[in-house]
Structures are given as structure tokens and as C-alpha cells.
């Protein structure tokens, strides 16, 4: 079967060409424009998404830096507080030791004063006992004040030796 180029074939060809040009003029232009706009819109959406992703990554980095900085600052504050507390502790301990030494010095001074007072009282009692014993031995009426001075001198010399 051979193809015959008859009037039907020519009219069909002409109709198809007219239909093609008509569709091209009316439909393909709009369809191409719609497809170009759709492609452009999709490309813009992808670009916006990539930009948003880059912005989010930048914000994440910024917040991580701020968090790291805050942690460093907190660590620094804690270290300063510990240092200050240690200094305060050392100061309190030093003051307590100083106060304790002062109390010990005062206690020693008080003990020394009471010892001296007690020795003085004992000397006086020994002198009275010695005078009483001497007056009984001598059985004489002696001057008490001069004898007391003599006995005090004797006791001081005996105590110094």
C-alpha cells in the first residue's frame, strides 16, 4: 500500500498545520509562560530555603558562641568567688589565731600577776609567823614594825638566793 497524496491528505495536513499554529499561538505560549513562571517560583523557593538554612546555621553558631562565652564567664565568676572565699577563710583563721594568742598572753599575764600576789601574801604570812615565833622565843616586847621590816628584808634575800 502506497501512500496516496490525495485531497483528503492535503486537507488533513492543512488542518493539522492550522491547528498546530492556532494551539501554538493560543495555548503553547501560555503553557510555556506558566511553566517558566513555575520554574522561576520553584527556583526562588529553593534559594530562599538555602538562604534560611544559611541564616539558621549562622544563628546557631552565634548562639553556641554566646553559650560558650556564658559558660566561660560563669567559670570565671566561680573561680573568683572561690579565690575570694579562700582569702576570707585565711583572713578569718589568721584573726582567730591572733585573738587566741592575745587571750593566751592575757591569761599568762593574769597567772603571773596572781602568782606574784600569792607570793606576796605568803611572804606576809611567813613574816607574821616568824615574828610570832620569834616573839615567843624571845618573850620580849619588841617593836613590831621594825621587826616586820627586818623579817621582810630577810625573806626577800632568802627568796632571791
Domain boundaries, the chain: 43-160
Q: Does residue 36 carry a pLDDT above 80?
A: yes
Compute the C-alpha angle 27/29/30, nearest 5°.
Answer: 70
pLDDT band at 142 (very low <50, low <70, confident <90, very high): low
Of residues 115, 140, 133, 114, the one with CA closest to residue 151: 133
Residue 152 class from Cβ within 10 Å (0-12 exposed, 13-18 middle, 19+ buried)? middle
- Length of the chain equals 161
As a whole number of angstroms, the distance between CA 156 and CA 127 comes to 11
pTM of the model: 0.43
- Average pLDDT of the chain, as a whole number: 85
Cell of 23: 494551539
Amino acid at each position: 500500500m502506497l501512500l496516496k497524496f490525495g485531497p483528503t491528505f492535503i486537507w488533513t495536513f492543512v488542518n493539522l498545520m492550522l491547528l498546530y499554529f492556532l494551539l501554538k499561538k493560543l495555548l503553547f505560549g501560555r503553557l510555556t509562560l506558566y511553566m517558566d513562571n513555575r520554574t522561576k517560583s520553584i527556583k526562588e523557593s529553593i534559594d530562599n530555603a538555602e538562604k534560611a538554612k544559611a541564616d539558621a546555621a549562622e544563628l546557631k553558631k552565634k548562639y553556641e558562641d554566646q553559650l560558650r562565652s556564658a559558660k566561660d564567664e560563669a567559670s570565671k565568676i566561680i573561680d573568683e568567688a572561690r579565690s575570694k572565699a579562700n582569702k576570707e577563710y585565711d583572713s578569718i583563721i589568721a584573726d582567730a589565731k591572733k585573738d587566741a594568742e592575745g587571750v593566751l598572753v592575757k591569761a599568762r599575764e593574769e597567772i603571773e600577776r596572781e602568782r606574784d600576789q600569792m607570793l606576796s601574801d605568803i611572804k606576809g604570812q611567813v613574816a607574821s609567823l616568824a615574828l610570832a615565833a620569834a616573839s615567843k622565843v624571845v618573850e620580849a616586847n619588841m617593836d613590831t614594825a621594825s621587826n616586820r621590816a627586818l623579817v621582810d628584808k630577810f625573806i626577800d634575800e632568802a627568796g632571791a638566793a
